[in-house]
Amino acid sequence: MRFSGTSVKGTITPPPSKSHTHRAFFLSSLSKKGCVVRNSLNSQDTRATLGAVGSIGASVERYRDTIKITNNGLHAPDKIVDAENSGTTMRLFAGIASMFCSPVTITGDASLRSRPMGALLDALSEMGVKCTSDNGKAPVTIRGPNKGGDVSILGNISSQFVSSLMIAAPMLENDTAIRIKGGLSSKPYINITGSMMERFGADVTVNDDMIKVCGSTGYEGCDITVPSDMSGAAFPLVAGALGGSVTAENMDMNDPQGDKRITEILKDAGACVSVNNDMITVSAGELRALNVNMNDIPDLFPIVAVLLSTARGKSVLYGAPQLRFKESDRIEATVNMLSALGADITGTNDGCVIEGVKRLNGGNIEHHEDHRILMAAAVASLVCENPVTMKGSNCYDVSYPLFPEHMERLGITVEV
């Protein structure tokens, strides 16, 4: 693929939230009544979750832009569950799998099989669940029944581990108290999980180091509309800051998504930002360096690094060591991608240091099949002297299926 351009202008509707879609599908499958999910994200990752939902006895019916999921009697899967490349699917489903007396095996592609699961499996084992794995990684086999109770878990590796325990908890015999050890990374995702569980009828209390969920109540269920994805919107919005003006519509600034902080980061960096009801408009300005704690917003790391690569001064992104356990080592992948384009960037244990340059050179990059690296590199083409090229891939389909189409609509040349 090849991306090139000097300016952008236009209005787009970002994709539905991947995080909300995963949770809506799983919660619907556990609910007592059929649930309609509107405006869900149809991507590689969310299709993997629908496969997991079907494996435990839920029916999935599609009606244009809506999906109805009905619990037809839950049971353990009768075959291995393939989460493909979706870490969210694998991790959230692991908690659900612990409900069953029969063993449940979950695996995925080579990338997914390299991602850590140990902290979650340790927590499930503490709850009396038998867990086996490949040295703390997939394939994992989980055998319950999980009856709930008190459990402690490391919270600084992935918030998905905590969400997994939370989602299963109302289905268990006893109340569950989850004590967070080592601090909690990506806390806004825990808030999304708790908020959606409440909408589906669960009784959950979320504090900084303790989460309590009432057991044996199950989920009543509800119909839900998935909001637009703030992390997806960040790519076209940063494009606006680098070269022109972009409006993202159908955005809900009251949603608990932590990545809505992209608007503050853009303002602080010197871009012109306007929020009007459900529309966010970002226009180019004279960009300046920032220090940004990425702990709660790790998905923004690659695109914020692109934003600051040509900002005046020295920028520091820090606080997100969990980035090393994403689809790629996302710190290393971001540093290598921007270095290949001519940026002055150095990786650290939990982020990077960027000395802004006037322009990037462009060139060939490796995205390591990581959707956020590919999309960030595409946006970086706006401040490159030459096109940005990369091995052809549709890995953007993980979170933003219409990404190339939207970039072309805004004015970036896309060649496949």
Distances (CA, A) of 291 to 144, 286, 307, 316, 319: 45, 17, 12, 5, 11
Residues forming a β-bridge with 279: 276
Residue 243 and residue 258 in contact, taking contact as beta carbons nearer than 8 Å: no
The DSSP line for 204-248 is EEE-SSEEEE--S--B----EEPPBPHHHHHHHHHHHHHHEEEEE
Query: Catalytic: 299?
Result: yes
3-state secondary structure of 40: coil
User: Is the preceding omega at residue 256 within 30 degrees of 0, hence cis?
Assistant: no
- Compute the distance between CA of residue 89 and CA of residue 195 in angstroms, rounded to an integer: 19
The DSSP line for 62-112 is EETTEEEEEE------SS-EE-TT-HHHHHHHHHHHTT-SS-EEEE--TTG
Ranges assigned E (strand) in 113-182: 130-132, 140-143, 149-154, 176-181
Catalytic residue among 299, 329, 344, 350: 299
Give me 221's structure tokens: 């269920």
Pairing of strands 176-181, 149-154: parallel
Burial class of residue 90 (count of CB atoms within 10 Å of its CB; 0-12, 13-18, 19+) = buried
Give me 353's structure tokens: 């240091």
276-279 contact pairs (CB < 8 A, 24+): 278/249, 278/250, 278/251, 278/252, 279/247, 279/248, 279/249, 279/251
Residue 233 and residue 17 in contact, taking contact as beta carbons nearer than 8 Å: no
Active site residues: 299
